[in-house]
Amino acid sequence: MHRRELYVGLMSGTSLDGIDAALVDFSASPPCLVGSQFVAYPADIRRAALALNTPGDNELDRAARLSVQLADLYATAVNALLAAEAVPPSDVVAIGCHGQTVRHRPELGYTIQLVDPSRLAEGTGIRTVADFRSRDIAAGGQGAPLVPAFHRAWFGSPAMHRGILNIGGIANITNLPIVGPTTGFDTGPGNLLLDYWAHEQLGTPIDAGGRYSASGAVDKELLATMLADPYFKVRPPKSTGRDYFNPDWLEAFAISALTPADVQATLCALTARSVADALRRDCAGVVEVFVCGGGAHNIDLMERLKKAVPDVTIATTAMLGLDPDWVEAVAFAWLARCAMQGEPSSLPEVTGARGTRVLGGIFPA
């Protein structure tokens, strides 16, 4: 009887919407997504995570308590996923858990993804791999983005120069040339500022389908001022997060003179333009780009991106056989498998580290 090689990947990104859980079978050829589960963040957990992105009182206690809460919620997601697929925990080799990023300061030598991995292992009965970024930072790298090696393994083509664009809270691009090294970097804000402004103006967590941004007009002067930010000029390797692109960054611009819909349209154009500029400058020769993450569902953003790079085919990773909502969770199942097998999964060309490293700490069940 064929024995499956099952891993669970867990991802909760800078959008702070919830947990993506993916069950992946690596014994299949090619590997396949067996099942998936989404667990939304309760409002109190989202508030607590967001508050920890900036300095505040009693941070150590708040971070420790949130790590415990997150571990329990991650365990809930895993257990629900396995129950839905009728898979016993003993059939799963390991869980790969990214944790919830609350600080990312590679220039200071650290990054913080909150989760209590021992508690997650205890709550699921499955060994857990976590803390994927720290080893790369210890080796002088950015610790991000982590997924380009997975993109190369899952989506690489020997005949076509591809890009894989993840638009989560932050947008990152993986450059997959036919010849030469795989590269990747954070281009800048993805949905993070769009979600913030939609919540402020509409009271909704996201701008569903990009309808709000589509109702406004781009302010070209504001867009040019935003694009003049030094981050967009820095050459890769580079990474960023809420530490840099946040409401304070947005409020520093003269947005009060604009209608709220025009601000949203300009933020949508900022994401599209910063991605397009990065593609032209740092991914020269790319002919097709496949989008994953929540931004793949933003119709207005996708249309703006297509117009910004008309010579590049833009589609979602569904065209390559993997639903754009689950790419990152599948990536952390893949990263956990690499850790369990002692295989390096970092790319120095992406992060700037001194060499490849095995990423992730293993916590037994």
Distance of CA 57 to the CA centre of its chain: 28
Give the sign of the dihedral formed by CA 328, CA 331, CA 336, CA 339.
negative
pLDDT of residue 28: 87
Stated pTM of the model: 0.95
Cα–Cα distance, 28 to 4 (Å, whole number): 8
Which residues, including other chains, have CB under 8 Å from residue 305's CB and lie 6 or more apart? 272, 275, 276, 291, 314
Q: What is the pLDDT at residue 138?
A: 98
The parts of the chain modelled with pLDDT lower than 70 are 1-2
Instruction: Fold for 6-143+326-363, please state it.
Output: Nucleotidyltransferase; domain 5 (3.30.420)
**Cα atoms in the 13 Å half-sphere on the side-chain side of 290:** 22
For the chain, the domains span 6-143+326-363, 148-320
Residue with tokens 């292992």: 121
Look at the domain 148-320 and name its fold: Nucleotidyltransferase; domain 5 (3.30.420)
Question: Do the domains 6-143+326-363 and 148-320 sit in the same CATH topology, yes or no?
Answer: yes
**Residue 294 Cα distances to 299, 331, 346, angstroms:** 11, 16, 24
Using one digit for the tens of pLDDT, what is the confidence trace for 23-80?
999 998 899 999 999 999 999 999 999 999 999 999 999 999 999 999 999 999 999 9
Tokens 């508030």 -> residue? 47
